[in-house]
A and B are shown apart, each in its own frame.
Chain A
Amino acid sequence: MAKLENSTKNMVLSLTVITVVVGALLGYVSSITAEPIAQAAANKQSAAIAAVVPGDGNEISEPETVTTANGEPAEIFTVMNGGKFVGKAVKAVSKNGFGGKIVVMFGFDAEGNILGYSVLDCSNETPGLGAKMPDWFQKGQKGDVIGKNPGKNNLTVSKDGGEVDAITAATISSRAFLDALAQAYGVYSGSDVATSASKQNKEAEASANETCEADSCAQKCLTE
C-alpha cells in the first residue's frame, strides 16, 4: 500500500483517528485498573497503621483530617480493639527533608508514648544516608525513639540539644523526621481521646516550669 500523501485532510484525519483510538484504549485500561490501584493504596495505608499500632483484631476508624501547626495536612486514625482505646495513628508530613517532602505514620498510645512509626515516603532523601530513615529510629537501633514521649522527652537531634542520635551524615533528614514527629504529636495531643495524655503533659510542663524557676533563682543567687 502506498503512503498517504501530505494533504491537510489526510493529516487531520490520521491524527484524529490515532488520538481517538489511543484515548479509548487509555479509558478502558484506566477503568479496569482504577479499583486495584485504590485497593493497593488502601492496603499500604492499613499495613502502615498495623505496623505503628500493634495488636490483632484492631478496628481502624475513618481518617480525621486536620492541619498541623506548620500548616501541613495530617490524618488521624483512631484504633480501637473490642471497644477499648488502643492508640492513634497519625500520618504527618514534613517539607524539611533533604530533597523535599517526607511522609511518616506515627502510632501513639493513650499516654502519648510512641508505639511505632512507618515511613511512607522518603524517596527524596539520599540513598544510603537519609533514606536509612525507615530503620534508624526503630527499637534497638541507634536513633531509637520507640516508647519515648514527645511531651516529656526532648526529641530533637543531639546537635540541637536533644536526646536523639541523628542518622550519620544525614542531620537534615533526621531533623525532618523529628519535625514530622513533632507535627504528628501536636495534632495527636490536640485531639479529643487523648485527654489523659494532655493532662499528663500539663503536669510535665508545670514541673518543667518549676525547675526553670529554680534555675533562675539559683542564677539570681549567683548574681547577688
Chain B
Amino acid sequence: MSKLGIIINGLIKENPTFVLLLGMCPTLGTTSSAINGMSMGLATMAVLICSNFVISCIKNLIPDKVHIPCYIVVIAGFVTVVQLLIKAYAPAVDEKLGLFIPLIVVNCIVLGRAESFAAKNTPIDSACDGIGIGLGFTCALTLIGLCRELLGAGTAFGFAVYPEQFGALTFVLAPGAFITLGFLVAIFNKLTAKK
C-alpha cells in the first residue's frame, strides 16, 4: 500500500470515530465546541504519530510476553510530553481539555493502532498510519464539535452565527454528544456504503 493510500485509509475507510467507533470517551467528552474537538484531535494525532513510529522501530526488541507493558510505557511517555508542552505553551487549551489529555494514554485508538498496524509494518508506514488515523480522528471531533456548537450555542469556532437564546442547550450537554454522534455515524456510513 502506498503512503498516501495508508493515510486515506485511516481518514475514510478505517476512520476511528465513524467506522471503528474507537475512543468514544474523548469523542463525547471534549466536543462541546469545534475548537475543543480540534485541539483534542491534534493532541491525539501527535501522540499517535510518535508512538506508532517508535513502537514500529523497537518491535523486534520486545519479547511477545511483555509487549503490552512496553507499548503502554512508550505511549504514556509521549502523552506526558504532549501534556507538558500544552501546559507550557498553550495554557488556554490545557484549561479546556484538562483531564482528557492524560487520558489519551488509555485511548484505545493509540494502543489499537500500535497492536494492529505498528507491530507489523515499517516505521515510515506506521508514521503515515498515525497521520491518517490522527487526521480522521481530528476531522471527526471537529465536525462533531462544530455541529454541537452550532446547534447548541449558535456559534462556529467561537464566531456568532445566530443569537444564543435560539440554540438548543441540550447539544452542548452530554445528551447532545450522543445524538450528534449517532446522526453523523449514520450519515457517514450512508455516504461511504458500497452500492
The interface residues of chain B lying within 8 Å CB-to-CB of A29 are: 80-81, 84-85
The interface residues of chain A lying within 8 Å CB-to-CB of B65 are: 6, 11
Check: B187 CB closer than 8 A to any chain A CB: no
Q: Kindly state the separation between the CA atoms of A127 and B173 in the bound complex, as whole angstroms.
A: 7
How many pairs of A and B residues are in contact by the CB < 8 Å rule?
75
The interface residues of chain B lying within 8 Å CB-to-CB of A123 are: 95, 98
User: Nearest Cβ distance between residue B175 and chain A, in whole angstroms?
Assistant: 12
From DSSP, what is the main secondary structure of chain B's interface residues? helix
Given contacts A15-B70, A26-B77, A44-B91, contact A3 B60 (CB under 8 A): yes
Chain B interface residue bracket vs A = 20 to 34
The interface residues of chain A lying within 8 Å CB-to-CB of B152 are: 128
User: Nearest Cβ distance between residue A20 and chain B, in whole angstroms?
Assistant: 10
Are the C-beta atoms of B84 and A30 separated by less than 8 Å? yes
Check: B3 CB closer than 8 A to any chain A CB: no
Residue of A nearest to B94 (CB): A40
Given contacts A123-B95, A126-B173, A127-B173, contact A14 B87 (CB under 8 A): no
- Chain B residues proximal to chain A, CB less than 8 Å: 32, 58-66, 69-70, 73-74, 76-77, 80-81, 84-85, 87-89, 91, 95, 98, 152-153, 169, 172-173
Jot down 30 A-B pairs with beta carbons below 8 A, ordered by A: A1-B60, A2-B60, A3-B60, A3-B62, A3-B64, A4-B62, A5-B63, A6-B63, A7-B63, A14-B63, A14-B70, A15-B69, A19-B73, A22-B77, A25-B77, A25-B81, A26-B80, A26-B81, A29-B80, A29-B85, A30-B84, A33-B87, A33-B88, A37-B88, A40-B91, A41-B91, A127-B172, A128-B153, A128-B169, A128-B172
Given contacts A26-B80, A36-B88, 17 further A-B contacts (CB under 8 A): A4-B61, A4-B63, A6-B63, A11-B65, A18-B62, A19-B73, A26-B77, A29-B81, A29-B85, A33-B87, A37-B87, A37-B88, A40-B87, A40-B88, A40-B91, A128-B153, A128-B169
